[in-house]
Structure 1
C-alpha cells in the first residue's frame, strides 16, 4: 500500500481525478480519506461528495449492502466529516436508519431508498417519524425501490398506501420515482373509492400502475403542476367498472412516456394524448392487436402528431398484429417504411412478418437508436443494428434460423444476458451433422454476457446450435432450460463429445419433463447444478 501511495503521489491532480472517477465513491472515501493532506483534499471534491451511494450494484441487477467494516467507518468518521457537502444519498434498507441518523445532512435534497421490503416500507412511511423529523421540507427528489419479500403478508393496497403517505411526509417533493426500474415492479391501483393524494409541488413522476384508468386518475388535477410523467401500465383495455374523466386538457405536461407489456386498445390512448396540448417529448412502447391493419407512420401523424404542435421529440416501439382473413394484398416492409418519409427527426426501423400457420401478421416499428432493455419476437427479417442497451431478447419464426442468423444476433446484442428461442422448424444447412468435426467452415459464435438460455420450445437443431463447441462458445455463467428428451437425443444419450465442453461450462441446468435425475446425466454435467 505504501508503494502504491508513492506512485499515486507522483501523478498530477488531473490524472489522479480521472483514476478516482473510475471507482465507486464508497471505495474512494474508505481507501483514501485521511491518508495524507493531498489525497484528502482530492476526495473532498464535490465530484465525490455531492452524490454518495452506500450500497453495491451487481451484474444481475441485485443490490447488496456494504460490509459492516466499511459502514462502521462511514458512520463514525466519513459521513460527519462531509455532511455539509452531501446533496444526494442512496442507501440500502438494512443500513438505512443508521446512515440517516449518523449526522445532520443540512444540504441533502435527493434521497434514494433501496431494497425496502413492502412491510418495512409500509411501517417507515406510515408510522416512523425518522423521515418526517429529518427531511419533511428538505427532500425534493425521492427514489423508492421495493424488494420482493419471501414473507409477503401485505394486501394489494399496501403499495398505494405507501405512495399516498409519501406526499404527507415530503411536503415539498418535486420528483418521485416509485419502484420504476425494478425487475418485478410494484403496480399501484386506485380503485374506487380512491385514496386522497394531492400535491401542488410535484413536477416529475415515474410510476407503475395496474390499469390505464389508474394513469388517467393521476392526471385528474391532483398533481396540477406535473411536467413529466413516465408510466408503465399492465392493462389498457376498456372496463365497465371504471369511468374517469378523460377530457380536461393538460397544458402543463411537457414530457410523457407510456409503456404496456400486454396487448392494448389504442383507441383509449389517443383521447388522453389529445389532452396534452403543449407536449414536447413523447415515448410510446406498446403492443397493439385487434386491428384490421398495421400501425404505421400515417396513423402516428393523423392520430398523434397533428394534435401536438409543440412536439419535437417522438420515440416509439410499437408492435401491431393482425389476423389474416382471406386478404388479397399484404403490406410489405417497403410499404410501411414509405409512410415514414415525412419523419425528419428520427431514423425509423420497420419489420413486417406474415405467419401462415398462425394466420397472423406482425409489424414492428421503432425509432433508432433503440433505448429499451428488451427486444422480443425477433424473426429472420430482423434488420440488424447495434443494440447496446438490450439485455433480454426472444427469437420466434415459422421459418428455420440458420447459423448466420445467430452470428448476426450475437453481433447486434453484445450485452445480451437472456435469450429465449421458440422455433420448431429444423435448420436447412446441416453439413456439420454429417461428421461432428466437419464444421470448420462456420465461425464459432460467442455470447460473452449470456446468463440465461431458454430452449424449452426449440427444435433439436437449435439445441445443437448452442451446445456443439464448433458452432458456439458458451461462457461459464449460463443457466440452460431445456426439454430432457430433446437434450438426451442431442447429446446422444449423454455421450457426445462435441457437446461435452459447453455442457461442462453450464453453471445450472433446468430439465423439463423429468422428475429424477439419472446418475449418467450428473456425470455428463459434473460442475453443473441440475434442477
Structure 2
C-alpha cells in the first residue's frame, strides 16, 4: 500500500512529469493497486509509464481517465483474474502507441478481459504480449490473434509475443502448423512466428506455445525437450519443465540458445537416463563442457538430485 501512495504522491508534486519507471524491476518491491482507493490525480503531461500492477483492474483504472496523453505503457501484472469489475473496458484509447503486457501467472480471462482491452487500442504501433491462457477447449493460435487483436490495429508495425495456451489433453481441436502460422503473419516481415506443442500425459493437458522470433522479451518459461532452438540474446530469465528427463545435450542447447541468461529454474523430477554415475568415465571426458557465463541465480528446488550433480559436478 505504501508504494501505491508514493506513486500517487509523485503526481501531486510533479506537475510536468513526462516519463516514469515505477516497475518492480527498477527497485520497487511491491505491485501497485488502486482499485480500492479514490481516483488518482490526473496527469495531462505523462507520455511514458513503466509500472508493476497487482491485477487487471488496476491497468484499466490507469488507462481510463488518469493519463490522457499517455503514449507508451509497459505493464507487469501479477494476475489477470476473471472479475465482475464495474470499471468500463469499452472506450477507445486513441493516444496509446506502444503497449507491453506481461503476466507470469495463468489466466482464464483472455476473451473476457485481455481481448476487449487490446481492441480499444486502435492506433497502437508496437505491441508486446507475454501471458499464459488456461481454457478447457480453446487455444490462442495465429488465426485468433489476428482476428481478435491485430485486425483492430491498422497502424501496428511491430509485434512481439509469447502466448502459451493450456487445454485439456482430450478436448483439443486441430492445431495449426508452423506453415499455417507463417502465412497468417506474412505482413510482418521482421518476424518469424514459431509454434510448438507439448503433451503432458501425467496431468492430462496440452500446452500450445506461439511466439515471435527474433525474440525481444526478457523471460521464457516452461521450456521442454521440445524446444526448437534459436538464439535468444534478450532473454535473462528462463524456466525448464518436462515430464521426461533433461539430458546433457539439452542443457548444452539451452546454454547456447540463451547466452546472456542470468536466472535458471529447473523443474523436473525425473532422473536422467545418462547421469554422471551411469556413464563410463571416458564418455564423461568426451562430453562438451557447458558454460553459463552470466548465470547468477539457479533454482533446483523442484528438480531431481541428478540435476544438482549436473550443475555442481558434471
State the shift of 1:361 in Å.
0.9
Match for residue 227 of structure 1 among 64, 71, 81: 71
Choose 454-463 or 280-289, whichever is displaced more.
454-463
Take 1:256 and 1:416, find their aligned partners in 2: how far apart are those partners? 25
Which residue in 1 is equivalent to 2:198?
A: 353
1:447 is the counterpart of 2:289: no
The answer as to whether partners of 2:129 and 2:163 remain within 8 angstroms in 1 is yes
State the shift of 1:320 in Å.
1.3
TM-score in terms of structure 1 length: 0.55
The answer as to whether partners of 2:35 and 2:61 remain within 8 angstroms in 1 is no
Structure 1: gaps spanning 5 or more residues: 1-155, 473-531
Change (3 A) 1:277 1:390: closer
Match for residue 389 of structure 1 among 234, 254, 277: 234
- Give the structure with the higher percent helix: 1
The answer as to whether partners of 2:46 and 2:69 remain within 8 angstroms in 1 is yes
Q: What secondary structure is seen at the aligned counterpart in 2 of 1:354? A: strand
Which residue in 1 is equivalent to 2:83?
A: 239
State the shift of 1:431 in Å.
8.5
Q: Write the deviation string for residues 430-475 of structure 1: whole angstroms up to 9, x where unpaired.
A: 586254455233222222222332223323433332233xxx4xxx
What does residue range 408-447 of structure 1 map to in structure 2 within 5 Å?
408-429=253-274, 433=278, 435-447=280-292
Take 1:457 and 1:222, find their aligned partners in 2: how far apart are those partners? 42
Match for residue 132 of structure 2 among 287, 295, 305: 287
Which residue in 2 is equivalent to 1:175?
A: 19
The answer as to whether partners of 2:177 and 2:195 remain within 8 angstroms in 1 is no
Which residue in 1 is equivalent to 2:52?
A: 208
Match for residue 325 of structure 1 among 163, 170, 173: 170
Larger RCO (alpha carbons 8 Å, 6+ apart): 2
Q: What secondary structure is seen at the aligned counterpart in 2 of 1:439? A: helix
Which residue in 1 is equivalent to 2:180?
A: 338
State the shift of 1:199 in Å.
1.2
State the shift of 1:380 in Å.
0.7
The answer as to whether partners of 1:198 and 1:223 remain within 8 angstroms in 2 is yes
Take 1:303 and 1:339, find their aligned partners in 2: how far apart are those partners? 15
The answer as to whether partners of 1:337 and 1:349 remain within 8 angstroms in 2 is no
Bigger Rg over Cα: 1
Change (3 A) 1:409 1:208: same
Match for residue 110 of structure 2 among 240, 247, 266: 266
Which residue in 2 is equivalent to 1:92?
A: none
Let me know the Cα RMSD of the aligned residues.
2.2
Take 2:28 and 2:243, find their aligned partners in 1: how far apart are those partners? 31
Match for residue 39 of structure 2 among 195, 212, 215: 195
1:252 is the counterpart of 2:252: no
Q: Write the deviation string for residues 196-224 of structure 1: whole angstroms up to 9, x where unpaired.
A: 31011112211111111111111112311
Q: What secondary structure is seen at the aligned counterpart in 1 of 2:86? A: coil
TM-score in terms of structure 2 length: 0.90
The answer as to whether partners of 2:197 and 2:207 remain within 8 angstroms in 1 is yes
State the shift of 1:372 in Å.
2.3
